[in-house]
Structure 1
Amino acid sequence: MPLSRNQLRAIVAACPLMLAAILPAGAAEEGKWVKLFNGKDLTGWTPKITGHPLGENTHNTFRVENGILKVSYDGYEKFGKQYGHLYTNIAYSRYIFRCEYRFEGKMMADAPHYVNLNSGVMIHSQSPQSMGIDQEFPSSIECQFLADEGKGARPTGNMCSPGTHIEMDGKLVTKHIVNSTSPTFPAGEWVKIEVEVRGNEEVIHRVNGVEVLRFQKPQLDPENAISPASELLDAGAARLLSYGHIALQAEGQGVWFRNIELKSLEQP
């Protein structure tokens, strides 16, 4: 059942209060790395998969094996546009997020072609509670993970913008994907990703410790049909994105994550 406008307004109105209440105690101490993933289970995270209720880990899509957080499709007969995201229970504003990823296996046969060796992490995401049951992607900024398909250069650490826009060098960027300057990596190789987020001021993507992309002023796009940014704006959300949840993607391609950590950049 979709959220009513009043329900959505209540969720949007509560987000800044929740952020203010949680961050001082729940966020990482400034300058110190803390683990967002405990290596044992999904504590601290909430799944939302298209077509399924909030919190339902459909077909055990997200699982933990040998200390690795895995996205697996061995329980699916078909993909059926069941896009998944695993959200942090806490929203963050100013921080550095880092993790390692590698791709595993083949994409689901009925998934869109772009899903092949494709995943990512969403930052400044709308809350999973505000997602419609059939919504495929949250309004957010994605740091996209890609691997070599054998068809030429395919950089990782790109920016994708479901329901959003960014600015670069003072100019509004409305195209959905902005490529990074990273090299192309084999599918089975562990790649280190780092995303530095400074509220609505600046976002920096790094791959294996090297800066590959930098942009400013992430913001909701009221005309975007992919994600209901206009509904969030109507419910009272700010256009400029200064905080949000972090979410790992499940798009129909097996992928592994490890060493998922965060360093707070919040001032005392």
Structure 2
Amino acid sequence: MVKQWWAALIAASSVLAGGEWQNCFNGKNLNGWTVKVTGFETGQNPGNLFRVENGLLTVSYSDFPNNSFKDEFGHIFINRPFTNYHFKCEYRFLGDQFPGGPKWAHTNSGVMLSGQAPETMEKEQKFPTSLEFQFLAQNESGTRTTGSICTPGTYVDVNGKTIKQHVIKSRGTALPAGEWVQAEAIFKNGKVSHIINGKTVIEYSNPKFDDGTPLTYGWISLQAESHPIQFRNIQIKELD
């Protein structure tokens, strides 16, 4: 079934502009962004989960209303959709994971590419239908990668082969928590590249919704998955 919010994407595409690098975050407040947290209505920001600290867009559960994590996955969306684009940001993990957070979510976050609009998400929905550019920090095993793709409600082609598994690992070695990492994503005409610190770590193409509908544009959001993280230098350049 084609997503109901597809019509909203088509309508919004008429206001898109292209050309130069645009700053998505002003370093002072969350103007231009919309929050959606699992279990809460669109626009609610429980416990000031997404906040600005020292000029950085910060995910913090320090003031969260619950004492432990109960699937309150959060996403903060840029307020309009994009078609072909080059997105970039820097991220770093810090502090301790919120109690109750799943083991896999330790130093785990990401940016959701070309996803559904926040107002179309159901109240209890955990993740927007999208292409996740996954961010991880290294653990004791030393085997973690960063820059992989996760596919909530979607699938893609890799090296000409359709892949429907949820996580497709990248070639990017994760760095220790606390270190700043530059992440870039290029989405153009059905081809997508994930770039970590200047190195392309995975490429894929022909993204589709689970029902087979081509995914050609959508909203971009940053994640909260129970571990504190900060973002800076959040920019986008439209390519069409």
Cα distance in structure 2, aligned partners of 1:203 and 1:181 = 15
Aligned partner of 1:252 in structure 2 is 226
Aligned partner of 2:196 in structure 1 is 207
2:207 aligned with 1:218 = yes
CA shift, 1:15, in A, is 2.0
User: Residue by residue, what CA displacement relative to the aligned partner does 1:119-140 show, whole Å, maximum 9, x if unpaired?
Assistant: 0000010111110001011110
Q: How many residues align?
A: 237
Residue from 145, 148, 153 that aligns with 1:158: 148
Partner of 2:47: helix, strand, or coil? helix
Aligned partner of 2:74 in structure 1 is 84
Cα distance in structure 1, aligned partners of 2:8 and 2:237 = 24
Residue from 37, 41, 50 that aligns with 2:38: 50
Contact 2:111/2:133, CA 8 A, preserved across alignment: yes
User: Residue by residue, what CA displacement relative to the aligned partner does 1:34-63 show, whole Å, maximum 9, x if unpaired?
Assistant: 100111111111000001011001110000
Partner of 2:16: helix, strand, or coil? helix
1:152 partner letter: G
2:7 aligned with 1:18 = no
Larger helix proportion of the pair: 1
Contact 2:91/2:180, CA 8 A, preserved across alignment: yes
User: Superposition pairs for residues 15-164 of structure 1, below 5 Å?
Assistant: 15-20=9-14, 22-24=15-17, 29-30=18-19, 32-76=20-64, 77-164=67-154
2:125 partner letter: Q
Provide runs of 4+ in structure 1 moved above 3 Å: none
Cα distance in structure 2, aligned partners of 1:93 and 1:15 = 9
CA shift, 1:79, in A, is 1.3
CA shift, 1:69, in A, is 0.3
2:141 aligned with 1:167 = no
CA shift, 1:12, in A, is 3.2
Residue from 170, 179, 183 that aligns with 2:169: 179
What stretches of structure 2 of length at least 5 have no aligned partner? none
> Over the residues paired in the alignment, what is the CA RMSD in angstroms?
1.4
Partner of 1:156: helix, strand, or coil? coil
Cα distance in structure 2, aligned partners of 1:209 and 1:258 = 16
User: Residue by residue, what CA displacement relative to the aligned partner does 1:220-266 show, whole Å, maximum 9, x if unpaired?
Assistant: 113xxxxxxxxxxxxxxx81100000000001010000000001101
Aligned partner of 1:225 in structure 2 is none
CA shift, 1:78, in A, is 1.5
2:175 partner letter: F
CA shift, 1:14, in A, is 2.6
- TM-score normalised by length of structure 1: 0.86
Cα distance in structure 1, aligned partners of 2:191 and 2:174 = 25
